[in-house]
Chain A
Amino acid sequence: MSEKMVESVVARTISRIIIPFIQLYGIYVITHGESSPGGGFQGGVILGTSIILFGIVFSLNTTKKWISKKILILFMSLGLLIYSGIGAIDMLFGGKYLEYGKLPLPLHSPEMSALSILMVEIGIGLCVMSTITLLFIFLAGEKSGTRMDSWEI
């Protein structure tokens, strides 16, 4: 899995076609979390799976050229900061933590809650996608020199 492209023509062609659809499905699951089964965690795992499929079929180096580890670590922290940040901004405007009704947007309370929950789910999805992909990159890169106990970017 390190330098050579190992898989056959069939696997490469099919995954080239399917990976965008998997990502679209992942985004669908994240955003429709409130009216059908799904939500941030599940959609994030699906998005992460698409990148892992790319990493299995093509080599790990090609994956690292597509999405570098720096971007993934940045997304991981950014997703979590979106979640806590929305909660903390509610406190700044006089409400309790995660009280979505107090945000300064001119919407009524149930719609405000729905919008905030959507933003929070997107944050969670971003974080989970990055975490699953980083786990794969660190564990699979053992033989070719991405050592697990060094913070090389």
Chain B
Amino acid sequence: MRRVELEWIVGRYNYLIFIALALIGFYAMIAKKNLIKKIIGMNIFQTAIFLFYISMADIEGRKAPILVPGVEEYVNPLPHVLILTAIVVCVSTTAVALSLIVKIYQKFGSIEEDEIMEMMK
């Protein structure tokens, strides 16, 4: 087994933070009982994926992908464009989820999942 050197961690900390955030978000989505906490977990999970895409685009020593006269080398702009679309999708999903929670609270009177399951039986 390879020795985990400091160089290995410092060189890849973006991806390690992506894994940590994704697991935190995933745990919150499935294990928490409050519906709002599930939506927060969903947002954390999707933010972790955006972090992964953007850190995939980075090339060492190049500038941000905005056209400035005098700069010739830019970072890969394609993942940035993909993330713009993915952020819109994430915002729409959160909007639908929050509207559903407002309606659930009106009809059921609580937003804890186990209480709602009791009422559904």
Interface residues of A (CB under 8 A from B): 35-37, 39, 41, 135, 138-139, 142, 148-149
CB of B70, distance to nearest CB on chain A (Å): 14
Is residue B93 within 8 Å, beta carbon to beta carbon, of the partner chain? no
Q: What is the count of residue pairs linking A and B with beta-carbon distances less than 8 angstroms?
A: 20
Cβ-defined contact, A35 with B66, below 8 A = yes
Q: CB distance A148 to B102 under 8 Å? A: yes
Question: Is the pair A37, B88 in contact by a Cβ cutoff of 8 Å?
Answer: no
Interface residues of B (CB under 8 A from A): 66-67, 84, 87-88, 95, 98-99, 102-103, 106
Nearest chain A CB to B69 CB, angstrom units? 11
List, in ascending order, chain B residues with CB within 8 A of A36's CB.
66
CB distance from A110 to the nearest CB of B (A): 13
Q: Are A41 and B103 in contact (CB under 8 A)?
A: no
Contact of B84 among A35, A41, A135, A138 (CB under 8 A): A41
Q: In the complex, how many angstroms separate the beta carbon of A128 from the nearest chain B beta carbon?
A: 9
In the complex, what residues of B have CB within 8 A of residue A148's CB? 99, 102-103
B95 touches A135 (CB 8 A): yes
Residue of B nearest to A39 (CB): B84
Name the B residues within 8 Å of A39 (CB-CB).
Answer: 84
Of all chain A residues, the one with the shortest Cβ separation from B64 is A37
CB-defined contacts of A139 to chain B, threshold 8 Å: 98-99, 102
Residues from chain B with Cβ under 8 Å of A135 in the complex: 95, 99
Q: How far is the CB of A132 from chain B (nearest CB, A)?
A: 9
- Shortest distance from the beta carbon of B23 to any chain A beta carbon, whole Å: 29
Query: Which of B67, B87, B98 lies in contact with A35, CB distance below 8 A?
Result: B67
What are 18 A-to-B residue pairs whose CB atoms are below 8 Å? A35-B66, A35-B67, A36-B66, A37-B66, A41-B84, A41-B87, A41-B88, A135-B95, A135-B99, A138-B99, A139-B98, A139-B102, A142-B102, A142-B106, A148-B99, A148-B102, A148-B103, A149-B103
The CA of A32 and the CA of B88, in the complex, are separated in Å by 19
How far does the Cβ of A72 sit from chain B's closest Cβ, in whole Å?
A: 15
* Given contact pairs A36-B66, A139-B98, A148-B103, a sample of 10 additional A-B residue pairs in the complex whose CB atoms are under 8 Å apart: A35-B66, A37-B66, A39-B84, A41-B87, A135-B95, A135-B99, A139-B99, A139-B102, A148-B99, A149-B103
